[in-house]
Amino acid sequence: MKSIPQFWDDTIVPTLVDYIRIPAKSPHFDKDWAKNGHIEAAVTLAADWCRKHPVEGMQLEIVRLPKRTPVLFIEVPATKGAEKCGTVLLYGHLDKQPEMTGWAEGTGPWIPVIKDGKLYGRGGADDGYAVFASIAALKVLQQEKKPHARTVILIECCEESGSVDLPAYLEALAPRVGAPALVVGLDSGCGNYEQLWGTRSLRGRAGVESLTRFSPHHEVCMAGSTLEKVRSEALRLTQAERAELAHSLVGSLDGPADTDAESAWDEEILRRLGEIDAGTAELIDREELRRRMKARMSRA
């Protein structure tokens, strides 16, 4: 591998071009997905690419539970000396949203078009790139002899249908995943191409639940036991596990997601982006923000 941009252009973009041609609509938009075989074609394309560009120690499997969309499951061991760093879980999906309308002349959901260095078509960014980006990241670390933790890549095929198949896979694969120290969801959006964007919460609602699902003690929450039994079992957990449990319990008291709040957040994000574009917003760097926050807190 020469460099990430080179590797991306030489091997990933051509594969994403092939992937865009596959109408791998999520089961919610293609009731006959199993018969039509497009999801199968997408997951096979991704798996074949990974086998062709393996990272050190990689183990790959397409996991299939009956009557559910498949999951691409990849395990990569920690590099020497990083065995105690825990497990990093990288998440993505290969199912797509439906065709929809409004495509520009010459473009379309299943027609890959590269224009001004950008690849257009359904699913390239949401979320086909995830597995390729994950492998490329590990590859460059290994090439530069930089250490990395044990990494598990989990690519589902049901995300655009509300991930209804995912819990069953999380349950089935929990012993193989272990308790991840970090979960990275490669499935967010970005407001421009000038900077790196990260999502730290899901529209203001913490996403810690996905971490707790893998807890080896998660059966505590699933048993439907009486309060006393659950409480005494919970108190036997380690301090870190109790903290994690407390966090998810508090989160569960929030009630269902407030769609009004979500769209208000979307509007607010667009408004702030508009201010940045118009040059009317004052941008400050992170260190300065921390300094100002500390100053304000010490005043309070």
Binding site for Zn ion (CB under 5 A): 126-127, 187
By C-beta, is 42 or 78 nearer to Zn ion? Answer: 42
Q: CB 127 → Zn ion: shortest distance, Å?
A: 4
Q: CB 22 → Zn ion: shortest distance, Å?
A: 16
By C-beta, is 187 or 233 nearer to Zn ion? Answer: 187
By C-beta, is 159 or 241 nearer to Zn ion? Answer: 159
By C-beta, is 18 or 187 nearer to Zn ion? Answer: 187
DSSP result, the chain:
---HHHHIIIIIHHHHHHHHHS--B-GGG-TTHHHH-HHHHHHHHHHHHHHHS--TT-EEEEE--TTS--EEEEEEPPPTT-GGG-EEEEEEE--B----S---TT-BTTB-EEETTEEESTTIIIIIHHHHHHHHHHHHHHHTT----EEEEEEES-GGGTSTTHHHHHHHHHHHH--EEEEEE-----S-SSS----SSBTTB--THHHHTT-TTTHHHHS---HHHHHHHHTTS-HHHHHHHHHHHHHHTT-S--HHHHHHHHHHHHHHHHHHHHT-SPP--HHHHHHHHHHHHHH-
By C-beta, is 112 or 124 nearer to Zn ion? Answer: 124
Q: CB 161 → Zn ion: shortest distance, Å?
A: 11
Q: CB 211 → Zn ion: shortest distance, Å?
A: 19
Q: CB 160 → Zn ion: shortest distance, Å?
A: 7
